[in-house]
Amino acid sequence: MNGDTRAAVVTSPPPTTAPHKERYFDRVDENNPEYLRERNMAPDLRQDFNMMEQKKRVSMILQSPAFCEELESMIQEQFKKGKNPTGLLALQQIADFMTASVPNVYPAAPQGGMAALNMSLGMVTPVNDLRGSDSIAYDKG
């Protein structure tokens, strides 16, 4: 050997880091007034606000003509299956709630479904038990 010993230098590429995964907080603009309002809102107030939004969505569904039509078709279907009082009474309670909460804005909403149900079962609804817009047409006497 002639003294020419060189140490081999191994070069390797720099270690690669995993690509930065975008997280939720990377997308949030901390100067956005809506974000600041929600962040500073008290937890109880935020929960109340969320409940109000949920109630609004449920009310929209319950007041939709499509829901009323579906309920009416369920009542008619129950009539065809037979006069099972428990099933009809459950549907009657739902329909009573619907007739009390559906405003006159939806003229296409099915009318008279529960009256037909009451007549077929031979039921009479006392005036004191009437709810909603039906009670306006009657007087206690």
The better pLDDT of the pair 110, 73 is held by: 73
pTM: 0.35
> Ranked by mean pLDDT, which of 3-17, 36-50, 98-112 comes out on top?
36-50
**Domain enclosing residue 113, as ranges:** 65-132
Lowest mean pLDDT among 58-67, 77-86, 119-128: 119-128
pLDDT, tens digit (0-9, with 9 covering 90-100), for 81-108: 776 667 777 777 777 776 665 444 444 4
CA-atom Rg of the chain in angstroms: 33
Q: Is 125's pLDDT higher than 50?
A: yes
In a domain, 79, yes or no: yes
pLDDT of residue 56: 92
Whether 7 has a pLDDT exceeding 50, the answer reads: yes
Cα 95 versus chain centre, distance? 19
72 assigned to some structural domain: yes
d(CA 111, CA 132): 14
Q: Which residues of 89-109 are buried (b: 16+ CB within 10 A; e: fewer)?
A: eebbeebbebbeebeeeeeeb
| Backbone CA torsion sign across 104, 106, 108, 113 | negative
Q: How far apart are CA 105 and CA 127, in angstroms?
A: 25
Assigned domain for 11 exists: no
| 31 within domain boundaries | no
Q: 57 lies in a domain?
A: no
For the segment 4-31, the average pLDDT, to the nearest whole number, is 67
Q: Report yes or no on 17 lying in a domain.
A: no
Q: In this predicted structure, what is the pLDDT of residue 65?
A: 87
Please say whether the beta carbons of 132 and 111 come within 8 A: no
Average pLDDT over residues 110-125: 50
End-to-end CA distance of the chain: 127
Provide the domain count of the chain. 1
Q: What is the mean pLDDT of residues 2-7?
A: 58
